[in-house]
Amino acid sequence: MAPPLPPQLILRPTGRDFPAGLVLSEYDARHRHHIAADRAHLPDEERALAETLRSEQRRIGFLAGRIALRSAFAALDPALVPGAVLRDARGRPHADWSGAPRISIAHTRVRAVAAAAPLGACAAIGVDVEELDAHRAHALVRMSLSTDEAARVRATDPAMLAGPIALWCAREACVKAFALEVGWFGTALVATRFESCDPPAADAVRAWRVEIAFESHEAMRAIAWESRGAVFAFAFDSRARVNDEAAARP
């Protein structure tokens, strides 16, 4: 059983693995009476969209993710008055009001995680989360890791528990941040680097930097970490920041 989570947990990671000003918000998705109360803070459009989802578990995940995102917005800028976050043509969370932050959402049956970054900090962001589960880890090794990838993961995680899940989450974060179209198991995304690094959070057990190759796309980088019974990953497309810096040069 996963350890208890606070209703809302805010993380402000810094360093080269994150865009400036990033906020990560985590929300406990296990208590439906809390979600039923907190959904009142969501815009009407978001609540209406939730009602179109036939599966109760999908509705709960959707609402928990949007609630987490509201907390991220408040932490990012208390003066921000965010509009509704609906979906784009691919079903991804989409904030289309002027000056909207970069956003990403992920959820499990236990928790929802939302990321928000200032508009000018990067081009896009991606966050993912999976609960630690031995059956899930072993299935990922069988179905989605190459021999070389498995060797890279095993070098840092001999138990092959958190490591395989971290690699999967890193792939998912890159798919979101770079808007990639990939197969179901993501095997076209190849991990060319999987190395231990300093954790980005005080309560993180361990962390990894991951480099992902995909067809002719330039190398993508993500960071993954294990914390409180789950594995989290984050990636961002820094092109907007690079372009802004170039424009500012004399």
Q: pLDDT tens digits for 15-65?
A: 999 999 999 999 999 989 999 999 999 999 999 999 999 999 999 999 999
Residues 122-136 have pLDDT tens digits of 999 999 999 999 999
DSSP type of residue 119: G
Domain endpoint, select from 102, 121, 140: 121
Could you write out the DSSP letters of every residue in 129-157? EEE--HHHHHHHHHHH--HHHHHHHHHH-
Domain that holds residue 20: 8-121
- Torsions phi, psi of 60, nearest 5? -65, -45
**Hey, how many other C-beta atoms are within 10 angstroms of the C-beta on 198?**
12
pTM: 0.91
pLDDT at 181: 83
pLDDT for res 173: 97
**If 0-12 CB within 10 Å is exposed, 13-18 middle and 19+ buried, where does residue 189 land?**
buried
Of 121, 154, 172, which residue is a domain's last?
A: 121
Would you say residue 44 lies in a domain? yes
- Which value, to the nearest 10 degrees, does the dihedral of the CA atoms of residues 5, 82, 99, 12 take? -20
Check the CA dihedral 80-86-91-96 and report its sign.
Answer: negative
**Cβ atoms < 10 Å from Cβ of 91:** 7
Is 138 found in the same domain as 197?
A: yes
